Amino acid sequence: MINKKIKLNQAVILCGGPGTRLGDITKKIAKPLIILDNKKNMIDFIIMNLSRYGFKKVLLLCHYHYKKFFKLYHKKKIHDLYIECVYENELLGSAGSICNAQKYIDDYFLLCNGDTYFDFNILDLYDKFKHKKYLGIYALAQTTKNTSRYSSVKIKKDYISEFNSNGKGKFKIFSSGIAIFSKKFIKEIKKVRSLENEAIPLLVKKKKIQYELYNKTFNNFIDIGIISDLKKSKKFFSKNLKKKFIIFDRDGIINLDNGYTYKIKEFVWRSNIFDLIKFFNDNNYYTFVATNQSGIGRGYYKELDVLKLHDWINKKLKDKGAHIDEFFHAPYFKQSKNKDYKINRNLRKPNIGMYLKIFSKWLIDKNKSFVIGDSQSDIEFANNAGLNGILIKPGEDVYKVSLKKIKEC
């Protein structure tokens, strides 16, 4: 379980390199800013993904074509993330750029490269980090392909025992480039320039770098550092951003249904729901909540109360390495005294208005996607949306029943 004293709100993205392996392509534009798919560059995709995991701030470390980064991102809020850029006057190397930005960096931060994308449950990495024992934890993956372009590693127990930087890959497990660090690690790297050639091998020798191994095929990873992979990026993002998804009912599934729940002190988690949500996070599903909240229309509580409760739910889920991608609610009640809440607007289940909101905002794959609810209205909602419905009866184990039904499909 995560130590609650640790706060992980910031991501630091390395963007300073010239990208020489892409030849003429990067003469006029920095590698992370090359348009890849749907008018988005790699930074856009990374920011969009970070927003799913509750990050609040992003720090872009820039040098090459830095003015473009500042114009696009500096002191702007995108997907609820506040973004700042830090300029280095000369190319300092990956370790040097981190040291240069030290005063802007939080006590704990996520580090990633501006030219790579790895789709996995970042909060699980956060959950596994033994911060009192290690200075950082790397997300690793496994492959049967040639690893000579990447930093390959050898592992023991829960730490990295050998770290071989680019061109020296001899192991089939290697670094995704994504890691969580304590700011204390900056003190250890002040005299070096390169993170992967100098800093990390140095800390590995001291047994200071933990790891977590995520997938066995590396299919969720792309590096646009060479032209052949840059050409694959459009297909990669079209495939990997369109995910299976789960829509949870709230009252009766996430929490016990005690009638018009809106106060945190009255909220009681359903048994095993943390494990179920995390299972879907770990297995690359989007997770949503769609809940009828006629208590708003009835005047029992305010819409702000529901929003505050949903924010609190995600904070508690984060403590378990899990998250809900987005909450949707229908506040309507036909006899409401508030005219804004009288009209159904097709949102209230079993109508599919909340599903249509999900469909318009997220790239989703209806195949093998599910609604998990505790009422016939939830099942009708699933049927109307063309999804599979799973009905959880009173007293049933929501984790076991849900996974059993999904396997049957």
Looking up residue 263, the CATH number of its domain turns out to be: 3.40.50.1000
252 and 235 inside one domain: no
Q: Does a structural domain hold residue 130? A: yes
Q: Does a structural domain hold residue 278? A: yes
Beta bridge partners of 11: 58, 110
221 and 327 inside one domain: no
207 and 172 inside one domain: yes
64 and 124 inside one domain: yes
Does residue 340 have an active-site annotation?
no
184 and 284 inside one domain: no
392 and 326 inside one domain: yes
Does residue 282 have an active-site annotation?
no
77 and 194 inside one domain: yes
215 and 251 inside one domain: no
**Tens digits of pLDDT across the chain (409 residues):** 445 568 999 999 999 988 888 889 999 999 999 999 878 999 999 999 999 999 999 999 999 999 999 999 999 999 999 999 999 999 899 999 999 999 999 999 999 999 999 999 999 999 999 999 999 999 998 876 666 778 888 999 999 999 987 645 566 788 899 999 999 999 999 889 999 899 999 999 999 999 999 875 557 888 998 898 898 887 888 778 889 999 999 999 999 999 999 999 999 999 999 999 999 999 999 999 999 999 999 999 999 999 999 999 999 999 999 999 999 999 999 899 998 898 777 999 999 999 999 999 998 999 889 999 999 999 999 999 999 999 999 999 999 999 999 999 8
Which residues span the domain enclosing 268?
245-408
273 and 199 inside one domain: no
User: What is the domain count for the chain?
Assistant: 2
Q: Does a structural domain hold residue 384? A: yes
**Residue-level pLDDT at 1:** 47
355 and 401 inside one domain: yes
Q: Among 188, 222, 240, give the residue marking a domain's end.
A: 240
Q: Given 223, 249, 374, 378, which residue is catalytic?
A: 249
> The pTM is what?
0.91
Q: Among 240, 275, 296, give the residue marking a domain's end.
A: 240
Q: Given 251, 325, 374, 378, which residue is catalytic?
A: 251
Nearest partner of 47 among 37, 59, 38, judged by Cα: 59
CATH of the domain at 100: 3.90.550.10
**Helical (H) or strand (E) element with 101:** none
Nearest partner of 307 among 320, 321, 297, 293, judged by Cα: 293
- The CA–CA distances, whole Å, from 235 to 50, 210, 216, 230, 245 equal 21, 32, 20, 10, 20
**Residue-level pLDDT at 296:** 96
- Side chain identity, residue 144: T
**Residue-level pLDDT at 169:** 55
14 and 117 inside one domain: yes
Q: Does a structural domain hold residue 3? A: no
**Residue-level pLDDT at 66:** 96
2: helix, strand or coil: coil
Q: Does a structural domain hold residue 2? A: no
Nearest 5°: phi and psi at 64? -70, 125
